[in-house]
Amino acid sequence: MNNWHATTIELESYLAGAAGPVLAASLETHLVACAHCRATLADLTRGAGDDAIATATDSQRRWETLSAAVDEAAISPLLRLGVATRPLIGALGVAVLLVLLIPIVVAVLSGSERLSSALLAGAPLAPMLATAFAFRRDTDPAGELTLATPTAGIRLVARRALLVAGTALPIGVTGALLAGVPLAVAVGWLLPGLALAGAVLLVGTTRYDPAVAAAALGSAWAIAVTLAARDDRGARVVELVTGAPTQLTALALAVAMAGVAVARRDQIVYRSTV
Protein backbone atom coordinates (compact mmCIF):
# COMPACT_ATOMS: atom_id res chain seq x y z
CA MET A 1 0.00 0.00 0.00
CA ASN A 2 1.31 3.44 -0.91
CA ASN A 3 1.34 5.85 2.04
CA TRP A 4 2.64 8.79 0.07
CA HIS A 5 0.37 11.82 -0.28
CA ALA A 6 0.73 14.97 -2.32
CA THR A 7 1.71 18.04 -0.30
CA THR A 8 -0.61 21.02 0.00
CA ILE A 9 1.92 23.11 -1.88
CA GLU A 10 1.93 20.66 -4.78
CA LEU A 11 -1.86 20.54 -4.89
CA GLU A 12 -2.16 24.34 -4.71
CA SER A 13 0.37 24.60 -7.51
CA TYR A 14 -1.70 22.12 -9.51
CA LEU A 15 -4.91 24.06 -8.86
CA ALA A 16 -3.25 27.28 -9.93
CA GLY A 17 -2.15 25.65 -13.20
CA ALA A 18 1.49 26.19 -12.27
CA ALA A 19 2.49 22.58 -11.62
CA GLY A 20 3.99 21.95 -15.03
CA PRO A 21 3.05 18.99 -17.21
CA VAL A 22 5.19 16.38 -15.44
CA LEU A 23 4.06 17.15 -11.90
CA ALA A 24 0.46 17.64 -13.06
CA ALA A 25 0.42 14.25 -14.79
CA SER A 26 2.00 12.59 -11.76
CA LEU A 27 -0.54 14.15 -9.44
CA GLU A 28 -3.43 13.16 -11.66
CA THR A 29 -2.22 9.58 -11.78
CA HIS A 30 -1.89 9.59 -8.00
CA LEU A 31 -5.28 11.25 -7.50
CA VAL A 32 -7.00 8.49 -9.44
CA ALA A 33 -5.99 6.04 -6.71
CA CYS A 34 -5.90 8.23 -3.58
CA ALA A 35 -9.14 9.30 -1.90
CA HIS A 36 -7.22 11.24 0.77
CA CYS A 37 -5.57 13.51 -1.77
CA ARG A 38 -8.81 13.93 -3.71
CA ALA A 39 -10.48 15.15 -0.50
CA THR A 40 -7.62 17.55 0.17
CA LEU A 41 -7.88 18.83 -3.39
CA ALA A 42 -11.63 19.32 -2.97
CA ASP A 43 -11.07 21.30 0.26
CA LEU A 44 -8.49 23.47 -1.43
CA THR A 45 -10.85 24.11 -4.34
CA ARG A 46 -13.71 25.13 -1.98
CA GLY A 47 -11.41 27.46 -0.03
CA ALA A 48 -10.13 29.24 -3.06
CA GLY A 49 -11.44 32.47 -4.56
CA ASP A 50 -12.90 33.15 -7.97
CA ASP A 51 -9.52 32.88 -9.70
CA ALA A 52 -8.88 29.52 -8.17
CA ILE A 53 -12.34 28.36 -9.22
CA ALA A 54 -11.54 29.40 -12.77
CA THR A 55 -8.31 27.39 -12.74
CA ALA A 56 -10.11 24.57 -11.00
CA THR A 57 -12.43 24.48 -14.00
CA ASP A 58 -9.37 23.99 -16.19
CA SER A 59 -8.15 21.38 -13.75
CA GLN A 60 -11.55 19.67 -13.93
CA ARG A 61 -11.35 19.61 -17.71
CA ARG A 62 -7.95 17.93 -17.56
CA TRP A 63 -9.25 15.57 -14.93
CA GLU A 64 -12.20 14.61 -17.11
CA THR A 65 -9.91 14.08 -20.09
CA LEU A 66 -7.70 11.78 -18.09
CA SER A 67 -10.64 9.94 -16.56
CA ALA A 68 -12.21 9.46 -19.97
CA ALA A 69 -8.99 7.92 -21.24
CA VAL A 70 -8.62 5.68 -18.21
CA ASP A 71 -12.24 4.60 -18.29
CA GLU A 72 -12.13 3.91 -22.01
CA ALA A 73 -12.43 0.21 -22.69
CA ALA A 74 -8.83 -0.46 -23.63
CA ILE A 75 -8.64 -3.44 -25.94
CA SER A 76 -6.38 -6.40 -25.31
CA PRO A 77 -2.73 -6.23 -26.42
CA LEU A 78 -3.21 -9.07 -28.89
CA LEU A 79 -6.12 -7.36 -30.59
CA ARG A 80 -4.31 -4.03 -30.58
CA LEU A 81 -1.43 -5.75 -32.36
CA GLY A 82 -3.55 -7.75 -34.71
CA VAL A 83 -6.50 -5.81 -36.01
CA ALA A 84 -4.46 -2.68 -36.31
CA THR A 85 -4.13 -2.03 -39.99
CA ARG A 86 -5.92 -2.53 -43.26
CA PRO A 87 -3.27 -4.93 -44.66
CA LEU A 88 -3.87 -7.25 -41.72
CA ILE A 89 -7.63 -7.04 -42.07
CA GLY A 90 -7.10 -7.65 -45.80
CA ALA A 91 -4.95 -10.67 -44.97
CA LEU A 92 -7.73 -12.03 -42.83
CA GLY A 93 -10.19 -11.56 -45.70
CA VAL A 94 -7.91 -13.34 -48.17
CA ALA A 95 -7.32 -16.20 -45.75
CA VAL A 96 -11.04 -16.71 -45.14
CA LEU A 97 -11.65 -16.49 -48.87
CA LEU A 98 -9.12 -19.22 -49.52
CA VAL A 99 -10.38 -21.64 -46.91
CA LEU A 100 -14.05 -21.02 -47.52
CA LEU A 101 -15.06 -19.57 -50.83
CA ILE A 102 -12.56 -20.86 -53.37
CA PRO A 103 -13.18 -24.58 -52.74
CA ILE A 104 -16.93 -23.99 -52.79
CA VAL A 105 -16.72 -22.03 -56.05
CA VAL A 106 -14.60 -24.81 -57.57
CA ALA A 107 -17.12 -27.39 -56.37
CA VAL A 108 -20.03 -25.44 -57.84
CA LEU A 109 -18.27 -25.15 -61.19
CA SER A 110 -16.76 -28.65 -61.33
CA GLY A 111 -19.10 -30.72 -59.22
CA SER A 112 -19.16 -31.62 -55.55
CA GLU A 113 -16.89 -34.63 -56.05
CA ARG A 114 -14.01 -32.21 -56.63
CA LEU A 115 -14.71 -30.24 -53.42
CA SER A 116 -12.22 -32.22 -51.33
CA SER A 117 -9.31 -31.86 -53.74
CA ALA A 118 -10.11 -28.16 -54.28
CA LEU A 119 -10.06 -27.64 -50.51
CA LEU A 120 -6.72 -29.43 -50.23
CA ALA A 121 -5.27 -27.36 -53.09
CA GLY A 122 -6.40 -23.92 -51.82
CA ALA A 123 -6.89 -24.01 -48.07
CA PRO A 124 -3.26 -24.74 -47.03
CA LEU A 125 -2.28 -21.47 -48.67
CA ALA A 126 -4.24 -19.51 -46.03
CA PRO A 127 -1.87 -19.91 -43.05
CA MET A 128 1.08 -19.45 -45.39
CA LEU A 129 -0.29 -16.19 -46.79
CA ALA A 130 -1.14 -15.05 -43.25
CA THR A 131 2.54 -15.46 -42.41
CA ALA A 132 3.71 -13.71 -45.57
CA PHE A 133 1.35 -10.77 -44.93
CA ALA A 134 2.60 -10.51 -41.36
CA PHE A 135 6.05 -9.58 -42.69
CA ARG A 136 4.72 -6.67 -44.74
CA ARG A 137 6.11 -3.29 -43.86
CA ASP A 138 2.74 -1.55 -44.02
CA THR A 139 1.33 -3.79 -41.29
CA ASP A 140 3.32 -1.71 -38.78
CA PRO A 141 1.02 1.08 -37.55
CA ALA A 142 3.95 2.78 -35.86
CA GLY A 143 6.45 2.33 -38.71
CA GLU A 144 10.10 2.41 -37.70
CA LEU A 145 9.14 3.13 -34.09
CA THR A 146 8.27 -0.55 -33.88
CA LEU A 147 11.82 -1.68 -34.58
CA ALA A 148 13.21 -0.34 -31.30
CA THR A 149 10.63 -2.10 -29.11
CA PRO A 150 11.07 -5.46 -27.35
CA THR A 151 8.34 -7.01 -29.50
CA ALA A 152 10.03 -6.07 -32.79
CA GLY A 153 11.01 -8.68 -35.31
CA ILE A 154 9.75 -12.19 -35.56
CA ARG A 155 7.85 -11.98 -32.26
CA LEU A 156 5.50 -9.45 -33.80
CA VAL A 157 5.34 -11.29 -37.13
CA ALA A 158 4.42 -14.52 -35.38
CA ARG A 159 1.65 -12.85 -33.36
CA ARG A 160 0.14 -11.30 -36.47
CA ALA A 161 0.31 -14.60 -38.36
CA LEU A 162 -1.28 -16.44 -35.45
CA LEU A 163 -4.09 -13.90 -35.28
CA VAL A 164 -4.94 -14.19 -38.97
CA ALA A 165 -4.43 -17.93 -39.27
CA GLY A 166 -6.08 -18.57 -35.90
CA THR A 167 -9.22 -16.84 -37.14
CA ALA A 168 -9.25 -18.31 -40.65
CA LEU A 169 -8.54 -21.94 -39.80
CA PRO A 170 -11.59 -22.66 -37.60
CA ILE A 171 -13.78 -20.88 -40.14
CA GLY A 172 -12.33 -23.06 -42.90
CA VAL A 173 -12.80 -26.29 -41.00
CA THR A 174 -16.35 -25.40 -39.98
CA GLY A 175 -17.24 -24.29 -43.50
CA ALA A 176 -15.87 -27.50 -45.01
CA LEU A 177 -17.83 -29.66 -42.58
CA LEU A 178 -21.00 -27.69 -43.30
CA ALA A 179 -20.39 -28.19 -47.03
CA GLY A 180 -20.35 -31.95 -46.51
CA VAL A 181 -16.61 -32.55 -46.76
CA PRO A 182 -15.45 -35.62 -44.78
CA LEU A 183 -13.81 -34.83 -41.44
CA ALA A 184 -10.46 -36.27 -42.57
CA VAL A 185 -10.35 -33.79 -45.45
CA ALA A 186 -11.85 -30.88 -43.49
CA VAL A 187 -8.92 -31.03 -41.06
CA GLY A 188 -6.46 -32.74 -43.43
CA TRP A 189 -5.24 -29.49 -44.97
CA LEU A 190 -4.24 -27.95 -41.63
CA LEU A 191 -0.85 -29.62 -41.17
CA PRO A 192 0.30 -29.09 -44.79
CA GLY A 193 -0.81 -25.46 -44.37
CA LEU A 194 1.21 -25.11 -41.17
CA ALA A 195 4.24 -26.67 -42.86
CA LEU A 196 4.00 -24.13 -45.69
CA ALA A 197 3.58 -21.32 -43.12
CA GLY A 198 6.62 -22.59 -41.21
CA ALA A 199 8.68 -22.50 -44.39
CA VAL A 200 7.70 -18.88 -45.06
CA LEU A 201 8.43 -17.95 -41.45
CA LEU A 202 11.86 -19.54 -41.75
CA VAL A 203 12.60 -17.75 -45.04
CA GLY A 204 11.70 -14.51 -43.25
CA THR A 205 14.64 -15.03 -40.92
CA THR A 206 17.02 -14.99 -43.88
CA ARG A 207 17.85 -12.28 -46.37
CA TYR A 208 15.31 -13.66 -48.84
CA ASP A 209 11.86 -12.17 -49.31
CA PRO A 210 9.14 -14.23 -47.55
CA ALA A 211 6.53 -12.97 -50.04
CA VAL A 212 8.49 -14.47 -52.94
CA ALA A 213 8.87 -17.72 -51.01
CA ALA A 214 5.12 -17.75 -50.31
CA ALA A 215 4.30 -17.17 -53.98
CA ALA A 216 6.65 -19.95 -55.12
CA LEU A 217 5.63 -22.51 -52.49
CA GLY A 218 1.92 -21.71 -52.79
CA SER A 219 1.93 -21.99 -56.56
CA ALA A 220 3.88 -25.24 -56.46
CA TRP A 221 1.49 -26.75 -53.90
CA ALA A 222 -1.70 -25.67 -55.66
CA ILE A 223 -0.47 -26.78 -59.10
CA ALA A 224 0.79 -30.13 -57.81
CA VAL A 225 -2.47 -30.97 -56.05
CA THR A 226 -4.59 -29.78 -58.98
CA LEU A 227 -2.60 -31.81 -61.51
CA ALA A 228 -2.64 -34.88 -59.31
CA ALA A 229 -6.42 -34.58 -58.94
CA ARG A 230 -7.02 -34.28 -62.69
CA ASP A 231 -7.47 -37.94 -63.60
CA ASP A 232 -9.49 -39.63 -60.90
CA ARG A 233 -11.46 -36.60 -59.62
CA GLY A 234 -9.06 -36.23 -56.76
CA ALA A 235 -9.60 -39.49 -54.93
CA ARG A 236 -5.96 -40.47 -55.00
CA VAL A 237 -4.59 -37.07 -53.99
CA VAL A 238 -7.10 -36.80 -51.17
CA GLU A 239 -5.95 -40.17 -49.91
CA LEU A 240 -2.31 -39.16 -50.28
CA VAL A 241 -2.60 -35.78 -48.50
CA THR A 242 -4.82 -36.96 -45.67
CA GLY A 243 -2.82 -40.15 -45.16
CA ALA A 244 -0.71 -40.64 -42.08
CA PRO A 245 2.71 -40.45 -43.83
CA THR A 246 1.95 -37.04 -45.36
CA GLN A 247 0.34 -35.71 -42.21
CA LEU A 248 3.23 -36.81 -40.01
CA THR A 249 5.78 -35.43 -42.47
CA ALA A 250 3.91 -32.11 -42.55
CA LEU A 251 3.78 -32.02 -38.77
CA ALA A 252 7.50 -32.73 -38.48
CA LEU A 253 8.35 -30.09 -41.07
CA ALA A 254 6.08 -27.49 -39.45
CA VAL A 255 7.57 -28.05 -36.01
CA ALA A 256 11.15 -28.16 -37.30
CA MET A 257 10.88 -25.01 -39.42
CA ALA A 258 9.02 -23.05 -36.77
CA GLY A 259 11.62 -24.18 -34.23
CA VAL A 260 14.53 -23.05 -36.40
CA ALA A 261 12.77 -19.74 -37.09
CA VAL A 262 12.22 -19.17 -33.37
CA ALA A 263 15.86 -20.07 -32.67
CA ARG A 264 16.90 -17.49 -35.25
CA ARG A 265 14.46 -14.84 -34.04
CA ASP A 266 17.15 -12.57 -32.66
CA GLN A 267 19.65 -13.12 -35.44
CA ILE A 268 17.83 -11.05 -38.03
CA VAL A 269 16.20 -7.69 -38.54
CA TYR A 270 13.03 -8.69 -40.31
CA ARG A 271 12.47 -5.33 -41.94
CA SER A 272 15.36 -3.64 -43.65
CA THR A 273 15.93 0.01 -42.86
CA VAL A 274 18.24 1.85 -45.20
Residues that bind other proteins (CB under 8 A): 20-22, 24-25, 28-29, 32, 62, 65-66, 69-72, 74-77, 80-81, 84-86, 140-152, 156, 265-267, 269, 273-274
Choice between 26 and 45, CB closer to other proteins: 26
- Kindly state the smallest distance separating residue 94's Cβ from other proteins, in Å: 19
Contact 237, 117 (CB under 8 A): yes
**Closest to other proteins by CB, 25 or 256:** 25
CB of 228 to other proteins, least distance (A): 43
Q: How many CA atoms lie within 13 A of 234 on its CB side?
A: 23
- Least distance CB 93 / other proteins (angstroms): 16
Q: Rank residues 114 and 271 by Cβ distance to other proteins and give the closer one.
A: 271
Count of C-beta atoms within a 10 Å radius of residue 27: 20
CB of 140 to other proteins, least distance (A): 8
Q: Which amino acid is at 13?
A: S
If DSSP codes are grouped into helix, strand and coil, which group holds residue 17? coil
CA-to-CA dists, residue 240 to 27, 50, 77, 115, angstroms: 67, 84, 41, 16
- Closer residue to other proteins (CB): 49 or 207: 207
Q: Which is nearer to other proteins, 21 or 47 (CB)?
A: 21
Q: Please, what is the minimum distance in Å from the beta carbon of residue 273 to other proteins?
A: 6
Q: What are the helix (H) ranges across the chain?
A: 8-15, 20-33, 35-47, 50-71, 77-82, 86-96, 102-110, 115-122, 125-134, 154-178, 183-188, 190-203, 210-228, 235-242, 244-263
- Nearest approach, Cβ of residue 66 and other proteins (Å): 5
Pick between residue 156 and residue 213 the one whose CB is nearest to other proteins. Answer: 156
Longest dimension (CA), the chain: 92
Nearer residue to other proteins within complex by CB, 144 or 209: 144
CB of 171 to other proteins, least distance (A): 24
- The torsion of the CA quartet 150, 153, 155, 161, rounded to 10 degrees, works out to 140
Return d(Cα 157, Cα 132) in angstroms, integer.
Answer: 9
DSSP 8-state secondary structure symbol assigned to residue 113:
G
